[in-house]
Amino acid sequence: MDSGPQAYGLGRTSGQVDIQQFLKTTPVLVRLLCLKFSIIAYFCISPGSKVWNEEQKQEVCIYSDEKESTCNMGIQFTLLGIVGAIVFLCTEYFMWKSASVKHRRRIIRGGLVAGGIECFLCLMAFFYIFFTWVGTPVAENVSTTNANFAILFIFLDIFAWGYFTLLEYQRLEKGVDPEFMGAFGNEDAAQFNAYAADESEYHGPTQK
């Protein structure tokens, strides 16, 4: 990846990706962190969220005997976080291989929206599960380790996805250096001119 003029935080590309360099970049590390937290939370809440209830003679959600939706919410939201992190790792890899300004802009905008939604979902899941869990009595012989760790990593996921969203916003604000298109042909230069016109319309007239 060229370290010269950039488009949305990435320089020109030759189409080849240095995996070691790719894995060391901040956007990739943040995506891996989101993936890690979501996986840990999922495997804590998925097998460890059900306990046997002697009175009801069936397995119930450890967070609430009467609300199966509490466990289901945690499982669904953490699974969504896993899928989202994998998708954004793939799109980041695609951006490293593609010099298209249009493609990069669409990916960054999509990441900004999706990251904000995932951050909000993690926040909602944390508060709902946490306050349900606080008011639920648990038998002494029931292990609560997985249940507590699930809540912890859902909480950490809020900050991971929040930072992901912030990075996408910063990359969108950086935009494209005019010199970025200098080494490309007429077709790419025309694409950049169309991009510049679109950005001018999107942000409004420049204030002098």
pLDDT reported for residue 179: 60
What is the pLDDT at residue 21? 82
Mean pLDDT of the residues in the chain: 77
Q: Give the model's pLDDT for residue 144.
A: 79
CA 18 to chain centroid, in Å, comes to 23
* Separation of alpha carbons 47 and 27, rounded Å: 31
CA atoms within 13 A on the CB side of 172: 18
**Residues lower than pLDDT 50 in the chain:** 183-190, 192-197, 200-208
| This prediction's pTM | 0.77
Q: Which pLDDT belongs to residue 146? A: 84
Give the phi and the psi of residue 176 in degrees, each rounded to 5: -120, 130
Confirm if 90 and 111 have CB atoms less than 8 A apart: no
Mention every residue, 6+ apart, whose C-beta is less than 8 A from residue 179: 4, 5
pLDDT score of 186: 41
- What pLDDT does 131 receive? 87
- How many whole angstroms separate alpha carbon 110 and alpha carbon 103? 11
pLDDT for 86? 96
pLDDT of residue 61: 76
What is the predicted pLDDT for the residue at 156? Answer: 95
Helices (H), ranges, the chain: 19-23, 26-48, 68-97, 101-134, 145-174, 186-203
Identify the CA nearest to 65 among candidates 74, 75, 54: 54
